[in-house]
Amino acid sequence: MWVPETMRDGAGFVIVYVLQLAFTLIQQSALLTFTLLVIILTESATANLCLLRREILCVCGLEVEESASLTAVKSRSDSERRASVEGASLDGNIKSVTEQLMSISRAKKAWMANAVSVIEEGMANSSHEDIEPRQDVASPTAEAVSDFLTHPAPFTAADPAVRLQRLSERYRRVFLLVSETVSVFGAPLLGLHAAVAAILLLAGYVGAGHLSGRRGLSVDVAGLSLVMVYWFVCLLTVNVSGSGLLERSQELHSALAKQCWPAARGAAQRRRLGALLEQTRGPLTLHVCGVFTVRKEALLSVLSFVLTYFVIMMQMIR
C-alpha cells in the first residue's frame, strides 16, 4: 500500500489506506465480474456449437439409416421373389406325389368299408362323454393378430428439412449472442490486454531497477506481483475461452462440409443446406474492435511485446 510521506501519521494515513483498499477491492471485483461474464457467454456459445455439430451428425445418421432400411427392404423383396420362383418349380413334383397317394387311398377304400362299419357299431353301443372345448385357452383376438403380423414401427424423427431449419435458426441465435458479446465487451477486452501489458512492463521496470541497485523505487513488490498474476490469469482464461469458441466454430463448418448429402433430395432442401454451409463459413470469434481476435495467440503477442520492451529497458539501464 503506497502512502505519501507527509501522511504516514495521524488520521490522513487511515483515510488514504481505506480509500486505496476500497478502490482496489472495487477494481478487482469488477475485473472478476467482467471475466466471468465473458467466459459464461463464450462457453454458452461454444456449447451451442457443439450441440449443432451433434445435431448435424444425427441428421446424417438418419439419412444413413433410411438408406440402410431401403436396402434391407429391397433385399427382402428379392429373397421373397426367389422363394416364389423356387416354390413354383416344386409345385409339379408335389402334385404328382399327391395323385399317387390319392390312387392308393382309393384302392384301400374297398376293404376299409367293412372295418369302418364294425367300428361304428361298436362306438354306438359304448357310452362316451361329450367333448367340450377348453375354456382356459383364449382364442387370439384381432388386435393380437394384427400386432403379431405388423412389424415394429421404425425410429421416427423430425423431417430433415425441419431439422435443417432448426439448425439454421439456432446458429443465427448463437451468432447474435457472439455479436452482442463483442459489441458490449470489445472495448473492455482491449483495455484488459493493455492493462496486463502495462502491469507486466511495470513489473519488469521494478525488477530491472532492483537488479541495477536503484533503491529509490518505493513499490511493494509482493503486492505488485500478486496483482500481476491475478490480471494475467484473468486474461489467460478469456483467451482460452475465445480459442475454444473459434475451434468449435471451425469444427462445425468442417463437419457440415464433409457430409455426403444424397442427390435425391429436393431443390429447396439442397438450397437450405447450401445456405447453412455458407452461414457457418465465417468462424465465430471474439474480436477486439476489429483489431485482433481474442485467442491464445493474442496472449502470446502481448507477451512478446512485453519481452521486447523489457530487453530494450535493460539495455537502457546498462
Over the stretch 168-209, which tens digit does the pLDDT of each residue have?
A: 888 999 999 999 999 999 889 999 999 999 988 888 877 777
Helix (H) or strand (E) holding 293: strand 292-293
State the pTM of this model: 0.63
Q: Give domain status of residue 11, yes or no.
A: no
| CA 256 centroid distance within chain | 13
Q: Return the bridge partners of 292, or none.
A: 288
Q: How far apart are CA 253 and CA 43, in angstroms?
A: 18
**Burial status of residue 50 (CB atoms within 10 A of its CB: 0-12, 13-18, 19 or more):** middle
Residue 283: phi and psi, rounded to 5, are -70, 145
C-alpha cell recorded at residue 258? 464433409
pLDDT value at residue 240: 93
Model confidence pLDDT, tens digit, residues 214-271? 554 556 677 778 888 999 999 999 999 999 999 999 988 888 887 766 655 667 777 7
Q: Give domain status of residue 24, yes or no.
A: no
Question: 46 by DSSP, 3-state: which?
Answer: helix
Question: 90 by DSSP, 3-state: which?
Answer: helix
Residue 45: closest CA among 283, 300, 276: 283
Q: Give domain status of residue 116, yes or no.
A: no
Q: Give domain status of residue 180, yes or no.
A: yes
Model confidence pLDDT, tens digit, residues 138-177? 444 545 444 434 444 433 445 667 777 888 888 999 999 9
> Mean pLDDT of all residues in the chain?
72
Q: Do the beta carbons of residue 256 and residue 280 sit within 8 Å?
A: yes
Q: Do the beta carbons of residue 267 and residue 203 sit within 8 Å?
A: no
pLDDT bracket for residue 211 (50, 70, 90): low
pLDDT at 91 over 90: no
Q: Do the beta carbons of residue 42 and residue 241 sit within 8 Å?
A: yes
Q: Which residues contact 313 (CB under 8 A, 6 or more apart)?
A: 201, 204, 205, 208
Q: How far apart are CA 151 and CA 169, in angstroms?
A: 36
Q: Give domain status of residue 135, yes or no.
A: no
Q: Do the beta carbons of residue 160 and residue 62 sit within 8 Å?
A: yes
Neighbouring CB atoms inside 10 A of 214's CB total 11
Residue 294: phi and psi, rounded to 5, are -75, 105
Q: Give domain status of residue 14, yes or no.
A: no
Q: Give domain status of residue 51, yes or no.
A: yes
pLDDT value at residue 157: 47
C-alpha distances in Å from residue 149, one per residue of 144, 145, 153, 268, 272: 9, 6, 12, 38, 40
Question: 216 by DSSP, 3-state: which?
Answer: coil
Our count of domains for the chain comes to 1
C-alpha cell recorded at residue 142? 384381432
Q: Give domain status of residue 4, yes or no.
A: no
Domain containing residue 54: 31-81+161-317
pLDDT value at residue 256: 80
Residue 49: closest CA among 261, 278, 284: 284
Q: What is the DSSP letter of 140?
A: P
Residue 208: closest CA among 195, 223, 197, 221: 221
Q: Average the pLDDT over 79-86 and give the result.
A: 56
